[in-house]
Amino acid sequence: MKSSATMSPPNPTAPVFDIAIVGAGAVGLAFAAAIRREARLKVALIDAPRPAGDGRLRTVALSPGSQALLERVGAWSALADAAQPILDMAIYDGTTADAVRLELLHFAHPDGAPLAHMAYTSDVTAALDAAAEGVTRIAGAVTGFAAGPFVATLTLADGEEVRARLIVAADGARSKLRALADIATSGWPTGQAGIVATIAHERDHEGRAEQHFLPAGPFAMLPLKGRFSSIVWNERPEEAERLCAAPEAEFIAELERRFSPRLGALRRVGEARAFPLEFRFARSYVADRLALIGDAAHLVHPLAGQGLNLGLRDVATLAEVVVERLRLGLDPGAREPLAEYQRRRRFDALTSGLGMDAMNRLFSNDSAVLRSLRDLGLRVMDRAGPLKRALIAEAAGGGRGAPRLLKGLGV
Ligand SMILES: Cc1cc2nc3c(=O)[nH]c(=O)nc-3n(C[C@H](O)[C@H](O)[C@H](O)COP(=O)(O)OP(=O)(O)OC[C@H]3O[C@@H](n4cnc5c(N)ncnc54)[C@H](O)[C@@H]3O)c2cc1C
């Protein structure tokens, strides 16, 4: 275990918590809410002061398993009215030059249940923030970490120290704790940036989501409440920057080349922003007295809208493992529970991430041979009822073997 080079000996008077969570994004907040509700523990939630967020720009698709977790931790009731159900989803493959693009694959739940819910990320974090009430909040950036035999010590930028039996790193893709614990990552840039914007349209979307696989990368139009949709539009990074800076009329003209005229006239609401896309995963999800969750552990391509959903699976699994230990009066930061968390999560997140990366590579090109092969594959899949049902169940995230919180059960 490596500690910060700037660390002085731990201060024995620093407060000791059972668990200190670093990072109050959706994943850190969800873990705080899950732990607060399931066990009466001393929990600290530490977050670095940051500039005003993206406001109503970033959105997420929440799987039924994630919805069950949000219900269980008491956050769903505050979010339900703002979340738009996705009732069906159509997948297309083609180029921007095609006069008509054929629908190759269509998903809808046989009983009409939503496939997922779309929500603004800021609404999700606000609902989780309220559900995590009672957790001690500490404002400050973590700059140091040292694991000891009984507790780990965090140092904040102002020199304050916080001690806890278990540190949970939910500090995002550029995780400082991951670096302080000397955990290496593997991965690669995808060579794409995801343009994100909210689009107003003339006609109702009727809860339908569309994903168009185009040579530069996937383009998704995802329904929001009212006559609004969220786009996640992948391009080469320089083209993405150019499009975000272009006048609105040019942006919309380019958008119309990618999307069917189904929704009538389109208008952009607010700015468009491009996020560089990377595939990256931590070589280890744990170190002495430390567990990584969310983007700190894995960064996946957004084409299947699974990044936060995977992070909430980490939350559900770690909460289950830790609460079980604490109920038995055992140390939540000991080696065995951390090894169990890693065993249950690392392979699942890695295979999901690699699957999304492979799909992105298979579709993001203009090869006629690959296109005919993948289109054949999608058509076969569209006609294979059991396979489609299995895919819907897999994306839902609450099936057999899933942690209890994703089934809406207590830990
Ligand atoms: C274009 C795009 C579209 C996406 N669409 C979807 C989707 O449809 N569905 C889906 O499930 N996911 C989606 N995702 C992924 C999803 O947005 C992320 O997986 C998720 O937001 C990660 O949450 P997090 O809490 O792990 O990290 P973050 O949201 O990055 O939070 C990290 C927190 O840690 C804090 N922090 C950082 N360093 C420190 C420090 N040193 N000390 C203290 N605090 C610190 C930060 O202030 C921040 O609050 C998408 C991503 C992109 C880029």
CATH number at residue 97: 3.50.50.60
C-alpha 99 to ligand 1 mean position (Å): 37
Cα(408) to ligand 1 centroid in Å equals 23
Q: What type of residue is 180?
A: L
Does 21 have pLDDT greater than 60? yes
Domain for residue 9, yes or no? no
Q: Which tokens belong to 179? A: 């670096």
User: Is residue 197, in this structure, part of any structural domain at all?
Assistant: yes
Residue 6 belongs to some domain of the structure: no
Q: What is the pLDDT of residues 55-68, one digit of tens each?
A: 688 999 999 999 99
Average pLDDT over residues 284-313: 93
Centroid of ligand 1 to alpha carbon of 172 (angstroms): 5
Residue span of the structural domain in which 56 resides: 16-407
Cα-trace Rg, the chain? 22
Question: What pLDDT, in 10s, does the model give residues 209-237?
Answer: 998 888 888 899 999 999 999 999 999 99
For residue 5, tell me if it sits in a domain: no
Q: What is the pLDDT of residues 61-105, one digit of tens each?
A: 999 999 999 999 999 999 999 999 999 999 887 777 676 677 778
Q: Exposed, middle or buried: residue 240 (CB in 10 Å: 0-12, 13-18, 19+)?
A: buried
Tell whether 257 is covered by a domain: yes
Residue of higher predicted confidence among 302 and 378: 302
pLDDT tens digits for range 398-407: 666 788 888 8
The DSSP result for 72-114, as a single string, is HTT-HHHHGGGPEEE-EEEEEE--TT-SS--EEEEEE-TT---
* pLDDT at residue 409 in the model: 83
Q: Is residue 351 part of a domain?
A: yes
- What distance in angstroms lies between residue 139's CA and the mean position of ligand 1's atoms? 18
What SS3 state is found at 178? helix
What residues line ligand 1, using a CB cutoff of 6 Å?
22-28, 46-48, 50, 60-61, 141-142, 170-172, 176, 194, 196, 232, 275, 294-295, 302, 305-309, 311
Q: Letter for the amino acid at 237? A: P
In a domain, 382, yes or no: yes
Between the alpha carbon of residue 380 and those of residues 100, 106, 362, 374, 394, the distances in Å are 21, 12, 17, 10, 19
Domain count, the chain: 1
**Which atom of ligand 1 is nearest to 176's Cα?**
41
Residue type, 18: D
Give the 3-state secondary structure of residue 175: coil
Residue 1 lies in a domain: no
pLDDT at 381: 65
Output b/e per residue, 11-31; b: 16+ Cβ within 10 A: eeebebbbbbbbbbbbbbbbb
